């Protein structure tokens, strides 16, 4: 493996982690939006606040990681993406800011009207942000971002593949959030809420699967290179994603919880890596390879050292945050029931 390939793997690991952790975080917005009026939707919103409260900002570590690795390791690709896709990326960045503001001010606002307004801002931004991020990724995957920075500012992200990936991103986020919240509600001893989110998870999984299957025909017509890669080199990962998703559906339908989160994560991670393998060795399908778009070797070596140090420093901290702090918060916020050992 070359240094450029190693940096590309590190970048894709960051994309995977943001898809999983950030995705589950974004997905709560849909369930917040559809929870109902303030009184009926209070249990759902309280659960969302308890579940994502300790981690809602930390998840953006992976987005920052991806941006740093991309502009340091592959400056040509970063310049092309920033030049061609700045509209959807700016909208996604605006959504992240508004989402954070809505979440913070909703909890700090006393007036009911203000709480509803900030809650709506949080929920809508949580849906729009992954859509615009997905639309940008769809433009890259379908070959609409040229390395010479001459891509069309509209059609690069307003196209069938971008629409497909954007909608799929929203449904996957909703699916991950519902699975995670099913377990969180059970740990809190809120069995009715756990069953309600189990139904939501089943519905989101079916919708996501339907979108993905329909997307095969979209990719075949609009992104033939990606379609070919997914049905050849990336096929094992696609099969793994389908398998994990099917097992999660079976477990949820039977009311089982153990392993559901890990399998849900596996389903999403597999499709992300399936896309990466399908596109390899290209950064931009058919135009810019990893080797051609990479920074000088000295920069790549330094970047790999920094990534290694960051993993050593950040890894234990995030493990403490996601495992110890999150479990403590959920246990403290419940009805006194002992947390269940769900995974």
Return the SS3 of 330. helix
* Of the candidates 6, 102, 26, the residue with the CA atom closest to the CA atom of residue 294: 6
**Residue 316 falls within a domain, yes or no?**
no
- What are the per-10-residue average pLDDT scores of the chain (343 residues)? 95 95 92 89 89 76 93 96 96 94 85 88 95 97 92 96 97 95 88 93 93 92 94 95 93 85 94 95 93 96 93 81 63 45 49
Please give the Cα distance from 204 to 60 (Å, whole number): 24
Q: How many CA atoms lie within 13 A of 46 on its CB side?
A: 13
**Residue 251 falls within a domain, yes or no?**
yes
The reported pLDDT for the residue numbered 334 is: 46
Give the tokens for residue 159. 């196209």
What CATH number is attached to the domain comprising 183? 1.20.1630
The reported pLDDT for the residue numbered 329 is: 53
Cis status, amide bond into 281, omega within 30 of 0? yes
| Number of domains present in the structure of the chain | 1
Q: Are 140 and 284 in contact (CB under 8 A)?
A: yes
Give the tokens for residue 198. 């189990």
The reported pLDDT for the residue numbered 311 is: 85
CB count in 10 Å sphere of residue 133: 28
The reported pLDDT for the residue numbered 164 is: 97
The reported pLDDT for the residue numbered 152 is: 94
Q: Are 303 and 72 in contact (CB under 8 A)?
A: yes
The reported pLDDT for the residue numbered 338 is: 41
**Residue 312 falls within a domain, yes or no?**
no
Domain of residue 266 covers: 3-305+322-333
* Eight-class DSSP state of 320: I
The reported pLDDT for the residue numbered 328 is: 60
**Residue 66 falls within a domain, yes or no?**
yes
Across the chain, the runs of DSSP E, i.e. the strands, are 282-284, 288-289
Please give the Cα distance from 277 to 187 (Å, whole number): 37
The reported pLDDT for the residue numbered 326 is: 59
The reported pLDDT for the residue numbered 340 is: 42
282 phi and psi, to 5 degrees? -100, 140
**Residue 341 falls within a domain, yes or no?**
no
- Give how far the C-alpha of residue 288 lies from the chain's centroid of Cα atoms, to the nearest Å: 25
CB count in 10 Å sphere of residue 247: 17
pTM over 0.75, yes/no: yes
**Residue 219 falls within a domain, yes or no?**
yes
- Give how far the C-alpha of residue 45 lies from the chain's centroid of Cα atoms, to the nearest Å: 20
**Residue 310 falls within a domain, yes or no?**
no
**Residue 311 falls within a domain, yes or no?**
no
């Amino acid at each position: 493996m070359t240094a450029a390939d190693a940096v590309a793997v590190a970048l894709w690991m960051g994309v995977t982690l943001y898809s999983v952790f950030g995705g589950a975080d974004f997905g709560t917005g849909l369930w917040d939006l559809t929870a109902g009026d303030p009184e009926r939707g209070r249990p759902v919103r309280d659960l969302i606040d308890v579940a994502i409260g300790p981690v809602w900002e930390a998840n953006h570590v992976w987005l920052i990681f991806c941006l740093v690795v991309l502009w340091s390791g592959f400056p040509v690709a970063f310049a092309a993406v920033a030049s061609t896709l700045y509209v959807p990326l700016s909208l996604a960045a605006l959504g992240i800011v508004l989402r954070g503001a809505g979440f913070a001010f909703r909890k700090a606002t006393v007036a009911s009207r203000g709480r509803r307004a900030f809650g709506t801002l949080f929920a809508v931004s949580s849906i729009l942000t992954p859509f615009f991020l997905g639309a940008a990724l769809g433009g890259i995957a379908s070959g609409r971002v040229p390395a010479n920075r001459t891509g069309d500012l509209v059609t690069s992200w307003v196209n069938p593949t971008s629409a497909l990936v954007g909608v799929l991103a929203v449904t996957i986020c909703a699916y991950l959030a519902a699975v995670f919240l099913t377990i969180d509600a059970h740990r809190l001893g809120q069995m009715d809420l756990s069953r309600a989110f189990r139904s939501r998870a089943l519905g989101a999984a079916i919708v996501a699967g339907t979108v993905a299957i329909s997307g095969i025909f979209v990719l075949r017509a609009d992104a033939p290179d990606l379609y070919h890669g997914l049905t050849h080199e990336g096929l094992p990962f696609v099969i793994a994603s389908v398998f994990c998703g099917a097992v999660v559906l079976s477990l949820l339908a039977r009311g089982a919880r153990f392993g559901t989160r890990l399998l849900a994560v596996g389903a999403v991670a597999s499709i992300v890596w399936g896309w990466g393998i399908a596109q390899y060795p290209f950064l931009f399908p058919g135009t810019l390879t990893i080797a051609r778009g990479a920074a000088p070797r000295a920069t790549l070596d330094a970047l790999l050292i920094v990534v290694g140090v960051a993993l050593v420093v950040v890894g234990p901290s995030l493990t403490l945050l996601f495992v110890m702090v999150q479990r403590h918060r959920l246990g403290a916020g419940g009805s006194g029931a002992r947390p269940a050992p769900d995974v």
